[in-house]
Amino acid sequence: MDTSPTPSDDSPLVGYDCIHGYLKTLDGSPGVYRMLDAQARVLYVGKARNLRARVSNYSRPGGHSGRIARMIEATASMMFLTTRTETEALLLEQNLIKQLKPKYNVLLRDDKSFPNILVPHDHAFPQIKKHRGAKKEKGTYFGPFANAGAVNRTLNQLQKAFLLRNCSDPMFESRTRPCLLYQIKRCSAPCVGYISEVDYGEAVRDAERFLSGRSTKVQEELAAQMAKASEAMEFERAAGLRDRIRALTQVQTTQGINPRSVSEADVIALHLDSGQACVQVFFIRANQNWGNRDFYPRVGADVGKAEVLEAFMGQFYDGKDPPRQIILSDGIENADLMVDALSGKAGRKVEILVPQRGEKAELVSGALRNARESLARRMSETATQAKLLRGLAEAFDLDGPPQRIEVYDNSHIQGAHAVGAMIVAGPEGFIKNSYRKFNIRGDDLTPGDDFGMMKEVLSRRFKRLLKEDPDRSKSMWPDLLLIDGGAGQVSVVAEIMALHGVSDIPMVGVAKGVDRDAGKEEFHRRGQRPFALRQNDPVLYFIQRMRDEVHRFAIGTHRAKRSKAIGASPLDDVPGVGATRKRALLAHFGSAKAASRANLADLRAVEGISDALAESIYDYFHDRG
């Protein structure tokens, strides 16, 4: 039930007086509260076993940390949502934190999905492959792995050990002779019948057993088969089995520490230093280390380890299935609530452990060491980045170091497949989840009109900003625009900014010098003469790096668009023709062009094409007018 009272006093109250005004309308129910500032921006989201008791604590001056005191002083209103249980309040709190990103909450900023290995169940000769995202495809999933590199290394070694295919289903079905992977002993060539369905299925089952942690059993069976083949003087087969055993051993070696007493767990270690945090997560599955990843949640200078870890866990497992055990470097305050919430999500018992000795404590120690070293490297990089931003502000006469720099570029070939690209940089380097690409849509543009393309890109960007963040409260607006181009590009962008009523964002054009050599860039600003930085200036290198990054992103986007266009087929847009029927048409006629010219009788003769669909295909290509 939503209960969001307002203080009875007509005068605008803030701070302790504002919070105290809510006490008479609250009871002891569990729930979630939000603290908002005078502009109705959410400052903090919290949960409470007893809402009245928690709010009462905020209404009393004194005894608060500096961060909480500042938050209270800025509070102009509050909102409340009661829940049936405190566990529900915990789940709702973490959902709201991820959605609203309040200023004073611990916030997990990197929330990418983790890859898995998928063994499909809908093919006689399944391809073992990497999978990321929702688990909609039928099959067995193994994971999560820390990153794509960990998955690729494991898949590569599984290929060596079990000779399983990695080609897509369409490629598999179209092969008439084995590919190079068969020649280098990475595949058993099921595409051309070099292995039976039964033998291939056995190899797949061995791979599944290995990924499930039963590697010893697999190796024992392979060793027995190798000995039997040697006795029968089948030396080539014995050598192949020997190579597979070696490959399995190599997989175990590359996985690093493989704990004997931990079959399924996430090891989570936290290191705090100077108001910054690093959380290191190691993924243990099937008694194997499947990689690690570091996270840098946003924290305050006076936040404790228990608060950071609890907030991290709530947000980290919001969209992920928790393992059977979660091994922590430090305890959390509401461990019982977290266990209930995660167990309910997983549909089974989840344990939270803080080991003091033994193998689990050694795992935590290793994760903690990685967290400490990772944070030290990041702090060093952040200090360097802060120095570069200060230098950038000095070079371009900015009011202060920019927190969000947007860099723009276009890419096309004689106007074809034109795209625009935007990258973002800030105090922590490139912010890749803020990158944007723009498919140039202007039908009236002259091919190769860079000015027109830049005008379209910036127009769309500012229209979106004005719509999504009109009062500039969400940190979506840039402090500096960098444009790849000279005075002409700068004039175009200035016109667009003026058209949208934006006049307070500094904008600089970065153009190559007369010799078009890196290091001789000229910088153009509206109404000022061009200037250059000295060739060995670190700020110049920083600008070059940003320009190279946007150039790389623009070219990559353009190539992807061009490849998609090149691979397009007239059959792609025919209603009712999916991938399977398209393959049938191509196999029957040899090309999409021949299929488009076929008569109705020939279309009906294609396997899988009904009379009604044949008529639909024929009408699509012959009766467009």
Contact present, 368 and 360 (Cβ < 8 Å)? no
Cα(first)–Cα(last) distance of the chain, in Å? 58
**pLDDT class for 450, splitting at 50, 70, 90?**
confident
Q: Is the pLDDT of residue 558 over 90?
A: no
Predicted local distance difference test score (pLDDT) of residue 318: 86
> Strand, coil or helix: what is 521?
coil
pLDDT > 90: percent of the chain: 32
Predicted local distance difference test score (pLDDT) of residue 412: 66
Which residues are within 8 A (CB) of 557 and not within 5 positions of it... i.e. 6 or more apart?
Answer: 411, 419, 421, 437
> Strand, coil or helix: what is 101?
coil
80-89, 190-199, 296-305: the lowest-pLDDT one: 296-305
452: tokens are 């027109």
Predicted local distance difference test score (pLDDT) of residue 392: 93
115 or 445, higher pLDDT:
115
Q: Is the pLDDT of residue 413 over 80?
A: no
Round to whole Å and give the CA distance between 172 and 176.
Answer: 9
> Strand, coil or helix: what is 547?
helix
**pLDDT class for 238, splitting at 50, 70, 90?**
confident
| Mean pLDDT, rounded, of the chain | 84
229-243, 303-317, 413-427, 573-587: the lowest-pLDDT one: 229-243
Predicted local distance difference test score (pLDDT) of residue 270: 96
pLDDT > 70: percent of the chain: 89
Predicted local distance difference test score (pLDDT) of residue 625: 41
16-20, 116-120, 394-398, 561-565: the lowest-pLDDT one: 561-565
Contact present, 204 and 162 (Cβ < 8 Å)? yes
Round to whole Å and give the CA distance between 608 and 606.
Answer: 6
Q: Give mean pLDDT, residues 310-337.
A: 92
Q: Give mean pLDDT, residues 344-358.
A: 93
Choose from 37-41, 245-249, 595-599 the range with maximum mean pLDDT.
Answer: 37-41
Q: Is the pLDDT of residue 517 over 60?
A: no
Which residues are within 8 A (CB) of 525 and not within 5 positions of it... i.e. 6 or more apart?
Answer: 396, 490, 506, 507, 508, 509
Q: Give mean pLDDT, residues 590-605.
A: 83
| 420-434 core/surface letters (b: 16 or more CB in 10 A; e: else) | bbbbbbbeeebbeee
- Reading across the β-sheet that carries 139-142, which strands appear in turn? 129-131, 116-120, 139-142
Predicted local distance difference test score (pLDDT) of residue 256: 47
Predicted local distance difference test score (pLDDT) of residue 518: 57
157 or 277, higher pLDDT:
277
Round to whole Å and give the CA distance between 267 and 512.
Answer: 50
pLDDT in tens, 55-112: 999 998 888 888 899 999 999 999 999 999 999 999 899 889 988 889 899 988 776 7
Q: Is the pLDDT of residue 567 over 60?
A: no
3-7, 29-33, 419-423: the lowest-pLDDT one: 3-7
Q: Is the pLDDT of residue 446 over 80?
A: no
Contact present, 329 and 270 (Cβ < 8 Å)? yes
Q: Give mean pLDDT, residues 336-363.
A: 93
Query: How far is the CA of 503 from the CAs of 57, 453, 467, 474, 536, in angstroms?
Result: 45, 21, 17, 19, 32
Predicted local distance difference test score (pLDDT) of residue 248: 66
Strands (E), 19-99: 31-36, 42-48, 77-82
135-139, 217-221, 430-434, 456-460: the lowest-pLDDT one: 217-221
**pLDDT class for 519, splitting at 50, 70, 90?**
low
Q: Is the pLDDT of residue 593 over 50?
A: yes
In 3D, which of 503, 497, 535, 475 has the Cα closest to residue 408? 497
463: tokens are 């229209």
Round to whole Å and give the CA distance between 493 and 509.
Answer: 10
Predicted local distance difference test score (pLDDT) of residue 364: 94
Q: Give mean pLDDT, residues 387-398.
A: 93
Q: DSSP per residue over 312-348, as a string?
A: HHHHHTSSS---SEEEESS--TTHHHHHHHHHHHHTS
Predicted local distance difference test score (pLDDT) of residue 258: 62
DSSP H helical segments within 232-327, as ranges? 235-254, 305-316
In 3D, which of 506, 517, 548, 493 has the Cα closest to residue 392? 506
577 or 110, higher pLDDT:
577
Predicted local distance difference test score (pLDDT) of residue 566: 55
For the chain, domains (ranges, CATH) are: 15-100 (3.40.1440.10), 116-254 (no CATH), 264-376 (3.30.420.340), 405-565 (3.30.420.340), 570-622 (1.10.150.20)
Predicted local distance difference test score (pLDDT) of residue 514: 56
* Residues constituting the chain: 625
